[in-house]
Structure 1
Amino acid sequence: MAKTIKMYHESGLAKILPKPTTEDPYAQLKFIFNRVANLKISKSTKENFKTALSFYINTYLPKTHNFDSKLENNKLFFLNEQWDKFALHNVEKYFKKYNVEGSKTRLSSFTVTSHMSAIRQVMEYALFHQLTKDENLLQAGVGLPIKETEQNTAYSDFEVNEINRMLKEELEFTSKLLSKKGYQKTGIGRDPRIKPCMKGFPRGSVHPEGFGWKETDNMRWYFENVMDCEALSGVPENKIKHNNFFHNVTRCYKGGLPALYRAWGVTSLIDADVLMPFAMKLALYTGMNPDSLWDLTADCFQEKHPLSNVPYIKYFKQRSLGHKEMHLNIYDKNVAIRELKENEANVIRTIFKQIIELTAAVRERAPKELKSFLFIYEVSSNNNYGVVSRINIKVTSEWCKRKLIRYNLRSQNDKRLQLNIVRFRSTKISQMVKEGYDFFEIQSRCGHKSIAQTLRYISKNNLEINARKIIRTALTYIHENRAWQLQEQPEYALEHTSSNKTVIYKGIIADCRNVLDPPKEVQMLKGYQKGEVCTRYNMCLFCKNVVILTLHLPLLIVYKNQIVNAIKNMPIELPTIKHYKKSLSIIEEILDPEKSEFSKEDLEWAHSAAECMNELTDTVVYRPIL
């Protein structure tokens, strides 16, 4: 609920407004949409209003009944009953709830933006002519349209650096606002009200000693010595008292009063420009989607969760229709990841603290329904100057557009960067994948119900690059150890085998060169004690000690089939779907006649033998033979 539009106008339009009937229940909607369309000149613009009307009548109302139970049984639509101050907000709510990825009726972002624009104009026209229920209309927005292929694409490292460059400079200004020292007098300039003797100089010329209002230093002198370093807003009472200051700032300084105040490190309002850098940084660090971000409350960050004892964020995810928790800094045995999590939690903690400090005065005078929200700001537009409102997608889109131009943000191919907060979500997920976060921790962080949903968000290039690297390393180990086995011909280890003898250890899907030296992933598991025998057969394919012989091939085929069936039938219940997919890639390469180190005859025998096997491998009951 951003700004509130208020309009008053005596009109006779209500006298010619048709009454809805059983045969034509939407007569008033058709009348008002066509009325506004006929005011437009362009044929394509007129068509936009017609398609928006069709959407409103044929899609929006049948699906939602305007979120009014009365319309379910009685379709007669009266503007002065149904179009209250939430009328536009209800349409926005429809798009957020139903226009989701994967739905059959999903509209492109361009179509959604076009519909919202047309519906907004029609509602404001009806409001102006006093045809609506309320005297104001709560604004809503769905953001700027973007190419659908780019909507959920992760930013590259280069692009993230570009965004961080912009945020760093923007946050330097807010750090001045938060400085405990406050504004410090500079003592520069002179009183601009002094008019020097200009004898010998052409009329209208600037005095060489820097007198007058055209000198920025003199404006600073007036600000420090007359305005007492208080960044006064340009409301009428202030303009009367300091007329020359406000008049000359607007006339002589590029960017006007906001730009001048910003250059001095002060502000008259805690507006969107002050808060948006924090919002962008929070989105980058959390991967939270915009809807959840704008719904955050001032008390949503908590230092200790009752169960996990770590910092967490309480938030609302509209598509999941419920409250969720984002746990931060969960303990990890991997030192590098643990440090990443600790740093992340500290950054997020600081962001919340700074936002609350900046908005303290705004929150005190905010309407009751807005006080609890985290991202509230003061509107800087002339029509609603100083009105307290919430940041929404429309405000975000406009801010992004301005910063793109100001900082000339570029993509990796030197094109204009598409700055969209929605893409921060897939960017964060891709970063977590590259940094080695556990797959299910990523799923939990995103608040996804299923693994499949998480997989759709992961940037395929980043994930595939990491997966290919792991698979390539595993195949190298398999090749080297097979060559070693063929050359050394080691025996299987038994209880009485001499420790000086070269041996291998019996396994299920593969044999092992050293069961006391499991891979890193096994050593990091909870409960593992150094020097213990490895029992994790499902990690063998990734182990540097793996030895695969011809006799293992049938069971590898059985194992492969079990993985394929599990992924196909129960993807949500797999412990680590990513791990098994990589296992599948390794097995397929081992069994591929074009790539395999085993002969065609061995592979044919293995497939025949596998048809007679139906063994289940169990890591609990299985122990290697020593």
Structure 2
Amino acid sequence: MQDPKVKILENFVNEIDKNRDKVWGVPVSHISKKNGYLASASYAELSRNLGLSQQGINFDLYKVSGYSPHLEKLNNILKEEGVILKGHIASALEVRRTTKHWWNNLTTKEKLNVKTFGNAIRFKAYIKNWRGGKGYEIVKDCGKELNAELLQLGGLDSNYFAVKDRGTLRDQEYRNKQHQAVQRWDDLAKKSLNSYREFVNVDSSDEPFVQLKQLAALVRKGAASVSSKKKPKEAFVHLCRFLEQNNIDPKSTLQDILSEFLLVRFHQDYVIPKMHNGNIAPSNAPTIISSVRKMLKRATKLKEISFHSFHDVEVKTLGRVTDTYKPYLKSERQAVTRAIQTSIDDTMALFEPYQKSGVGEYSLGDNGFIKPGFSNIENARYLFENHLNCIPTSFNGAQTLEEKGFLKIIEKLDMGLHEVYRSWGVPSVIDADTIAPFVYRLAQITGMNADPLFDIYVDDFVISHETTQKPCLRYWKERSSGGKQLHLDLFEAKLQWLSKKQSEEVKEVFENVIRITDSIRKDAPEHVKDKLFMYKSTGQTTHGEIKSFSDLKGKTTSIYSNFVAKHDLKSESGEPLVFTISRFRPTFVSELLEAGVSIREIQLMLGHSNIETTMNYLDKLDFNRIAREKLTDAISKIHNRIFVKADDEASNKFLDNPDKVIFTTPLGGCSNIFSPPDFVKKVSGFKKGSPCSQYNKCLSCENVMITVDKLPMLFAMKRDYMLLMQRNRIMDTPHGYVIEENLCLLDEILNPKKSDFDAEVLFRAEKLAQFEETAVIDGVTV
């Protein structure tokens, strides 16, 4: 009677013989050289996959009675089908076999969607131990074969040239094509095109948007230099993409394409999003808009077409240096905070203990293939919960039949692998986008810049500093004197987005990040292992590498744009928010100022060794409005302390203004600032004998509109006040305090370091002031 296990092997080999396509699913392994062959079917894998005895694994299936003829037949099939080749090592043949088996099991649609790089299939993303170098030429040939097939299917570009080969491959035929393309632009611009009827008939041409191309060719013809001739061509390409994006038929006529709002929509719906995504450089956006504007202007001159005008736009580029110094506005802060907290909450929810669903059933047959009709998400979840131990696997790391079967089911679903994991509440990949919200949160709490944030280590948060016994965050600040220590509760400022003390917030960020990076930290390189912010790269050339956020310095644009796009963050003007870590620092300072925190405390929080550095920083951050409010309050307090009491003889002496001193302003004059009208005297806080609290308030009001033409008179007033201080004894009287107040206010307006006006404008105004005459004080006899 035949051994049942021998029967299993016999049936398996007969099935392979009948369906030779399955031969690529038989693993191969190394053998001693025999008749020129260095590989055979892997007996160990056969034993495991077919459920044969352990004896087959430990000794050799050839030595087991009944197995030998079937294995001989199987090896002959492998040789006939080219799975095993003479003179080729088993490791190379196995990689080649795995690759072909993977490829043969893909549908045409799946093949067209495989990852590519450099116009070739990115095999490393799918095949473990993929090699194409020395000793593995057969693998390299296999790659060329599959790339050729994908090229035939239309998944690769037949006109593609590798970067290193482009210089040598630009043969005469290629140059001729380039010349023909340039010549086509010249030919389109030969006609004067004063009338719409002179344009190419769209039905007689295969070129998409051919009439629009003619319009661009006319603009190009008028360009003076070679470089400027490229701009209309580039603008035409972008405008075509915009039209395609809006499902406009490439056969559309110019009459159908043109509209008065075309430039506005192109700018708003195409250029701005492309700038935010990094696909259009901010410096290039004005050039593109300008070229499209020229095309539309040329179109308005055409006869026999109902297009006479269009709405123009002002191009606002992104990423300007000044933007990085501007705090987020209140509504923007709230939106950013919600987005950060939502991202953190969603991520932390993934790290809760996994709850098994109990759905699905076992979906693999005896041969390891998926049973017909069993490729659904419930059965994939069954394998995940009962055979993968609820541990995520990937296409690069699948080993067991169940892992491979699980991934095959996922491939047939509409959802991606990581999307499936996330829907089950399972953390699958700790990439930069996952960690970024925690970085943003720490920037919110501390006001730290990106570089020191990225370089923080896991032990840099100290609950109780050895000297102050207070919570402390150590960090390294570049371009400074070295190590810095940021004390977290030197003040009790009630910031808008902090519900707890800073130290508690920072502690929570540290604990959460350490928890979610635990699975990758143990495999991180030594120089990364102790960094707080780390991630697993998903880049094409660095896939799977564990990196520190400090590796991202200067490469954070995509992370910012991903965050803005995911949460649809908008500025107050409705445009996509200019989002960077750099803006958290001025926002942090803005919150401190609004909360009434002193400059000295802000200096300590920012880690500045000199308070002048802090003052310059505040000036650079455009905090004039807040600073002016603080200055006005401070001056009022000073005046209240230094003015003599109302019942003193010195005060009473000036109530009647015996010297007839009249203070003038650009708005008028005051005959006696110490004796204001009754409605002023009734204002709370007014003290008899004090100067009028309303005098000259317009200059200190944030609603005042001071125009450039008023600046020469203000400089003249300042000049005359300074002369009075030198030539008269008026400064020894209470009137002197009013003059000092006016000088302080004028300094806020006219000092280039404090003023909202440009330094050059102020310089010209000061020159013009010499022609202005004032009478800042009339009737001075003191």
Q: TM-score, normalised by structure 2?
A: 0.42
Aligned: 1:226 with 2:399 = no
Separation in structure 1 between the aligned mates of residue 427 and residue 451 of structure 2, nearest angstrom: 28
Separation in structure 1 between the aligned mates of residue 342 and residue 496 of structure 2, nearest angstrom: 29
Residue 551 of structure 1, aligned match among 729, 733, 753: 733
The higher radius of gyration belongs to: 2
Separation in structure 2 between the aligned mates of residue 594 and residue 264 of structure 1, nearest angstrom: 78
| Residues 295, 373 of structure 1: 8 Å contact kept | yes
Residue 338 of structure 2, aligned match among 165, 171, 174: 165
Aligned: 1:423 with 2:575 = no
Q: Tell me the residue number matched to 1:352.
A: 510
| Segment of structure 1 superposing worse, 315-324 or 444-453 | 444-453
| Segment of structure 1 superposing worse, 219-228 or 449-458 | 449-458
Any unmatched runs of 5+ in structure 2?
1-129, 135-162, 171-177, 179-225, 231-280, 284-316, 366-371, 653-684, 692-731, 754-772
Aligned: 1:373 with 2:531 = yes
SS class of match (1:230): coil
| Residues 272, 395 of structure 1: 8 Å contact kept | no
State the shift of 1:307 in Å. Answer: 2.9
| Segment of structure 1 superposing worse, 457-466 or 371-380 | 457-466
Separation in structure 2 between the aligned mates of residue 194 and residue 439 of structure 1, nearest angstrom: 70
Q: Tell me the residue number matched to 1:311.
A: 471
Residues 282-314 of structure 1: per-residue CA shift (max 9 Å, x gap): 112111111111111111111122333211111
| Residues 325, 586 of structure 2: 8 Å contact kept | yes
Q: Which has the higher contact order (CA 8 A, sep 6+)?
A: 1
Separation in structure 1 between the aligned mates of residue 389 and residue 507 of structure 2, nearest angstrom: 34
Aligned: 1:185 with 2:356 = yes
State the shift of 1:453 in Å. Answer: 3.9
Separation in structure 1 between the aligned mates of residue 570 and residue 442 of structure 2, nearest angstrom: 22
Matches of residues 264-303 of structure 1 in structure 2 within 5 Å?
A: 264-303=424-463
Matches of residues 460-609 of structure 1 in structure 2 within 5 Å?
A: 463-470=623-630, 489=647, 548=690, 551-554=733-736, 600-601=778-779, 605=782
What is the aligned-residue RMSD (CA, Å)?
5.0
State the shift of 1:317 in Å. Answer: 1.0
Residue 151 of structure 1, aligned match among 314, 318, 324: 324
| Residues 462, 471 of structure 2: 8 Å contact kept | yes
Any unmatched runs of 5+ in structure 1?
1-5, 11-33, 48-108, 112-143, 196-206, 494-501, 503-542, 572-592, 606-626
Separation in structure 2 between the aligned mates of residue 186 and residue 431 of structure 1, nearest angstrom: 47
SS class of match (2:322): helix
Residue 242 of structure 1, aligned match among 383, 403, 421: 403
Matches of residues 115-130 of structure 1 in structure 2 within 5 Å?
A: none
Residues 521-552 of structure 1: per-residue CA shift (max 9 Å, x gap): xxxxxxxxxxxxxxxxxxxxxx9879646823
Q: Tell me the residue number matched to 1:17.
A: none
Separation in structure 1 between the aligned mates of residue 598 and residue 384 of structure 2, nearest angstrom: 55
Separation in structure 1 between the aligned mates of residue 375 and residue 571 of structure 2, nearest angstrom: 42
State the shift of 1:365 in Å. Answer: 2.5
Relative to 1, partners in 2 of residues 1:338 and 1:411: Cα closer, same or farther, differing over 3 Å? Answer: closer
Q: Tell me the residue number matched to 2:106.
A: none
Aligned: 1:388 with 2:559 = no
SS class of match (2:581): coil
Separation in structure 1 between the aligned mates of residue 131 and residue 332 of structure 2, nearest angstrom: 43
Q: How many residues align?
A: 386
Relative to 1, partners in 2 of residues 1:479 and 1:366: Cα closer, same or farther, differing over 3 Å? Answer: closer
Relative to 1, partners in 2 of residues 1:440 and 1:366: Cα closer, same or farther, differing over 3 Å? Answer: same
| Residues 351, 427 of structure 2: 8 Å contact kept | no
Separation in structure 2 between the aligned mates of residue 298 and residue 479 of structure 1, nearest angstrom: 52
| Segment of structure 1 superposing worse, 217-226 or 417-426 | 217-226
| Residues 313, 327 of structure 1: 8 Å contact kept | yes
Q: Tell me the residue number matched to 1:81.
A: none
Residues 294-353 of structure 1: per-residue CA shift (max 9 Å, x gap): 111111111122333211111111121411111101145x7x579969522211111012
Separation in structure 1 between the aligned mates of residue 411 and residue 688 of structure 2, nearest angstrom: 75
Relative to 1, partners in 2 of residues 1:595 and 1:483: Cα closer, same or farther, differing over 3 Å? Answer: farther
Separation in structure 1 between the aligned mates of residue 510 and residue 413 of structure 2, nearest angstrom: 37
Matches of residues 9-88 of structure 1 in structure 2 within 5 Å?
A: none
Separation in structure 2 between the aligned mates of residue 399 and residue 339 of structure 1, nearest angstrom: 23
Separation in structure 1 between the aligned mates of residue 689 and residue 422 of structure 2, nearest angstrom: 67
Separation in structure 1 between the aligned mates of residue 462 and residue 429 of structure 2, nearest angstrom: 28
State the shift of 1:379 in Å. Answer: 2.1
SS class of match (2:476): strand
Q: TM-score, normalised by structure 1?
A: 0.51
Separation in structure 2 between the aligned mates of residue 304 and residue 476 of structure 1, nearest angstrom: 41
| Residues 253, 260 of structure 1: 8 Å contact kept | no
Residues 474-501 of structure 1: per-residue CA shift (max 9 Å, x gap): 7889999999977xx56699xxxxxxxx
| Residues 430, 458 of structure 1: 8 Å contact kept | no
Aligned: 1:362 with 2:520 = yes
Separation in structure 2 between the aligned mates of residue 477 and residue 595 of structure 1, nearest angstrom: 28
Separation in structure 1 between the aligned mates of residue 495 and residue 775 of structure 2, nearest angstrom: 36
Q: Tell me the residue number matched to 1:322.
A: 482
Relative to 1, partners in 2 of residues 1:433 and 1:40: Cα closer, same or farther, differing over 3 Å? Answer: farther
Relative to 1, partners in 2 of residues 1:193 and 1:178: Cα closer, same or farther, differing over 3 Å? Answer: closer
| Segment of structure 1 superposing worse, 388-397 or 410-419 | 388-397
Separation in structure 2 between the aligned mates of residue 595 and residue 278 of structure 1, nearest angstrom: 61
State the shift of 1:413 in Å. Answer: 0.9
State the shift of 1:390 in Å. Answer: 0.9
SS class of match (2:577): coil
Q: What amino acid does structure 1 have at the position aligned with 2:340?
A: L
Relative to 1, partners in 2 of residues 1:386 and 1:175: Cα closer, same or farther, differing over 3 Å? Answer: same
Relative to 1, partners in 2 of residues 1:260 and 1:467: Cα closer, same or farther, differing over 3 Å? Answer: same
| Residues 287, 429 of structure 1: 8 Å contact kept | yes
% same residue: 24
Q: Tell me the residue number matched to 2:348.
A: 175
Relative to 1, partners in 2 of residues 1:38 and 1:259: Cα closer, same or farther, differing over 3 Å? Answer: same
Separation in structure 2 between the aligned mates of residue 219 and residue 446 of structure 1, nearest angstrom: 52
Relative to 1, partners in 2 of residues 1:554 and 1:404: Cα closer, same or farther, differing over 3 Å? Answer: closer
Separation in structure 1 between the aligned mates of residue 394 and residue 436 of structure 2, nearest angstrom: 20
Separation in structure 2 between the aligned mates of residue 8 and residue 323 of structure 1, nearest angstrom: 47
| Residues 297, 372 of structure 1: 8 Å contact kept | yes
Separation in structure 1 between the aligned mates of residue 348 and residue 603 of structure 2, nearest angstrom: 34
State the shift of 1:363 in Å. Answer: 2.6
Q: Tell me the residue number matched to 1:615.
A: none
Residues 365-392 of structure 1: per-residue CA shift (max 9 Å, x gap): 2222222221122223464443221122
Q: Tell me the residue number matched to 1:510.
A: none
Separation in structure 2 between the aligned mates of residue 317 and residue 39 of structure 1, nearest angstrom: 48
Separation in structure 1 between the aligned mates of residue 642 and residue 438 of structure 2, nearest angstrom: 55
Separation in structure 2 between the aligned mates of residue 546 and residue 292 of structure 1, nearest angstrom: 56
SS class of match (2:584): helix
State the shift of 1:451 in Å. Answer: 3.9
State the shift of 1:280 in Å. Answer: 1.2
| Residues 461, 507 of structure 2: 8 Å contact kept | yes
Relative to 1, partners in 2 of residues 1:314 and 1:595: Cα closer, same or farther, differing over 3 Å? Answer: farther
Relative to 1, partners in 2 of residues 1:492 and 1:162: Cα closer, same or farther, differing over 3 Å? Answer: same
State the shift of 1:415 in Å. Answer: 0.5
Separation in structure 2 between the aligned mates of residue 266 and residue 473 of structure 1, nearest angstrom: 56
State the shift of 1:564 in Å. Answer: 11
Separation in structure 2 between the aligned mates of residue 595 and residue 251 of structure 1, nearest angstrom: 87
